[in-house]
Amino acid sequence: MISQELQQRLELRLSPQQLQFLKLLQQPLLTLEQSIKQELELNPVLEEIEEEISELSDEQPVEAEEQKEEENIEEPEEDDFNLEDLLDDDTTGYKSSDAWSGDTERDEMPLEEHITLAEALREQLHLLSLSEEELHLADEIIGNLDEDGYLRQTLEDILASANISLSLEHAEKILKHIQRLEPPGLAARTLKECLLAQLDIRHFDPTRKELARKILELCYDDYVNKRYERILDRLDISIDEYKEADALIHKLNPKPGEGSTNSEELTIIPDFIVRQENDELVVESLSTSVPTLRINKRYIELLSQKENHLSKEEKDFIKQRLEAARTFLQCIQQRQTTLLDVMKAIVMKQKDFFETGENLKPLTNREIAEMVGLDESTTSRASHGKYVQTQHGIYSLKHFFSSKVQQDNGEEISNKEARLKIKRLIENEDKSHPLSDDELAKILKELGLSLARRTVAKYREAIGIPIARLRRKI
C-alpha cells in the first residue's frame, strides 16, 4: 500500500567549497600542480604570476610596491570592450613562435626515445626465422606477460583464444625461443623455468653451471627450503662446491621483466623540510613547483565601469568566474595553512625522532587533530601522499603514525620501533643458526619488551623477513 509521511532528520552536508578544499588537501604536490594548471585553463579570471613580476628589490617591500601601483592607477577610459577580447588569446609576444624570425637558428632539444619491453622483444623476434602464424603466437605470448616477465596464462588458453592452429608441442618451441631473448628468462611459467632458461644462455664456468643445473632440476624443493644436507647427500658434493653453485644461481634474475617496462616512475617531492637551527626544529614548506596565482584585475575593472557594454550573460559569467577564482585561491591558502599546522604538530610529537632518527613514539590522527583543532579525517587527508625531508632521510607523513606497544617498565613505544628491534636482532643473528620467532620473543622479553610469538611473527612478516629456516646460510 502506497502512503505518504513526513520525517524530520538532521543531516550534515559539505558545501562545494569544503569538498574542493578536501580534494586539494589530499593531493600531493605533483597532482596539485596539475590541478592548478587545469583551473588556469578553465577559469580565464585566474592568471599565473610570472617570476619577472614577483622579483622585487630588497629595499622595496611587496606591499609598498603594490600600494604605489594602486595610487598611480587612473580610472580606465570608457571604450568599446567586449568579453570576446579577453577570451581571444593574443599569441604574439616574445614567448610565441611568431616572435622568431625565419633566419633565427633554434636549438631543438632532442626527445628521449623510450622502447617498451614488448617492443624490444618483438624487434628481436623479427630476427628469427618464424612463420606468420608463429609470430602471431609469439606476439600473443608477449602480450600476456605480467610486470615481472612471467607468463601466467597457459599455452592451451592462448592458442584457443587467439584461434591459432599450432600444436601444443610447437607452441612450447616458440616459448623456448622467447625465453632465450634478451633479457633471458622471460615468459617463464615458474621460477625454476626462469632460472634454467637463464643458465642455458648465460656464459658461466661449465663445471659450476652444470652443478647449478643439477641443483635446480633435481633438488629444487630442497634448495628453496634451505635443506642443504639433503642436497649434499643426493648429489654427493662438498660444501665448497655447493657454495660456488649457489653463488652462481644468485647471479640470476628471478624477475627478468622487473624495471624493463616503460612505466611512469613515481617521483617523490617533499612537501616540507625539517632542519635543526640553534637547538630548535624549523619546519619549512617546499611549494616552489606550485604556480602562484592571482585574480586578473582587468575583469574587476570591467564590472566596475558604468558603461562597459557587457550583456547580462557576460556580466554573470564574469561574476561566476570571479567567485570561483576567489574560492579556489582560498582553498589553496587554506590547504597550505592546514598542512603546515599538521606538520608542526607532528614535529612537536616526534621531536626525538627528528633529532636522532630513532625513538619513534606512538601517534594517532586523533592526537594531531586535537592539537590543530581539526577533524580526524581532515588530518588523515593532510598526511596522505605527503613527504618530509629530514636530516635522516625522506619520510612519508604516514610513517609518523603508529599504534603503541607497552614495555615491561610501563613506557610505551611505537610498534615500528618494535619492528626495528626485531630487524636488528635478525641482522646480527648467526646465519647458520637463525633465530626462530620463539627465540626472538625470549630475547625481546629480556630487553624489556614482552611480545607474543604470533606478534613477533606478524611484525617479522610486515618488514619482509622470511622464517628462520629460509634465512639459514652455510
In the block, cell 612519508 appears at 396
Q: Are residues 239 and 284 in the same domain?
A: no
Q: Indicate whether 124 belongs to any domain.
A: yes
Q: Are residues 193 and 143 in the same domain?
A: yes
Q: 13 versus 228: which is more confidently predicted?
A: 228
Among 410, 454, 382, which Cα is nearest to 27's?
Answer: 382
pLDDT in tens, 72-102: 434 444 444 443 443 344 433 333 334 334 4
pLDDT reading at 50 higher than 60: yes
pLDDT in tens, 203-224: 888 899 999 999 999 999 988 8
Q: Indicate whether 68 belongs to any domain.
A: no
Q: Are residues 429 and 442 in the same domain?
A: yes
pLDDT in tens, 353-368: 898 888 888 888 899 9
Say what the pLDDT of residue 368 is. Answer: 92
Q: Are residues 432 and 342 in the same domain?
A: no
Say what the pLDDT of residue 34 is. Answer: 86
pLDDT reading at 386 higher than 80: yes
What's the average model confidence in pLDDT over 291-312?
Answer: 81
Segment (H or E) for 347: helix 312-349
Percent of the chain with pLDDT over 70: 82
How does strand 272-277 pair with strand 387-390? parallel
Q: Report the DSSP beta bridge partners of residue 393.
A: 390
Spatial separation of the C-alpha atoms in residues 345 and 343, rounded to whole Å: 5
Q: Are residues 351 and 319 in the same domain?
A: yes
Name 95's Cβ contacts closer than 8 Å, sequence gap at least 6: none
Residue 93 half-sphere exposure toward CB, CA atoms < 13 A: 5
Q: Indicate whether 136 belongs to any domain.
A: yes
Give long-range contacts, CB 8 A cutoff, 24+ apart: 331-335: 331/17, 331/20, 331/21, 331/24, 332/24, 332/36, 332/290, 332/293, 334/21, 335/21, 335/24, 335/25, 335/32
Q: 410 versus 137: which is more confidently predicted?
A: 137
Mean pLDDT of the chain: 79
**Mean pLDDT: which of 5-9, 19-23, 265-269, 329-333 is highest?**
329-333
User: Residue 267: pLDDT band by 50, 70, 90 thresholds?
Assistant: low
Residue 314 cell numbers, joined: 557576460
What's the average model confidence in pLDDT over 390-397?
Answer: 90
Name 34's Cβ contacts closer than 8 Å, sequence gap at least 6: none
Provide the domain count of the chain: 3
What's the average model confidence in pLDDT over 109-130?
Answer: 72
Indicate which CATH number applies to the domain containing 434. Answer: 1.10.10.60
Spatial separation of the C-alpha atoms in residues 61 and 285, rounded to whole Å: 21
Spatial separation of the C-alpha atoms in residues 127 and 125, rounded to whole Å: 5
pLDDT reading at 343 higher than 90: yes
Would you say the C-alpha torsion 196, 201, 204, 206 has a positive or negative sign?
positive
User: Residue 410: pLDDT band by 50, 70, 90 thresholds?
Assistant: confident
Q: Are residues 447 and 428 in the same domain?
A: yes
Q: Indicate whether 75 belongs to any domain.
A: no
Q: Are residues 122 and 203 in the same domain?
A: yes
Q: Are residues 148 and 228 in the same domain?
A: yes
pLDDT in tens, 273-290: 998 888 888 998 887 667
pLDDT reading at 420 higher than 70: yes
Say what the pLDDT of residue 407 is. Answer: 77
Q: Which of 169-183, 325-339, 370-384, 405-419 has the least mean pLDDT?
A: 405-419
Residue 45 cell numbers, joined: 579570471
Q: Residue length, the chain? A: 474
For residue 186, give its domain range.
Answer: 118-249
Q: Indicate whether 382 belongs to any domain.
A: yes
pLDDT reading at 63 higher than 80: no
Residue that is last in its domain, among 218, 249, 280: 249
Say what the pLDDT of residue 82 is. Answer: 42
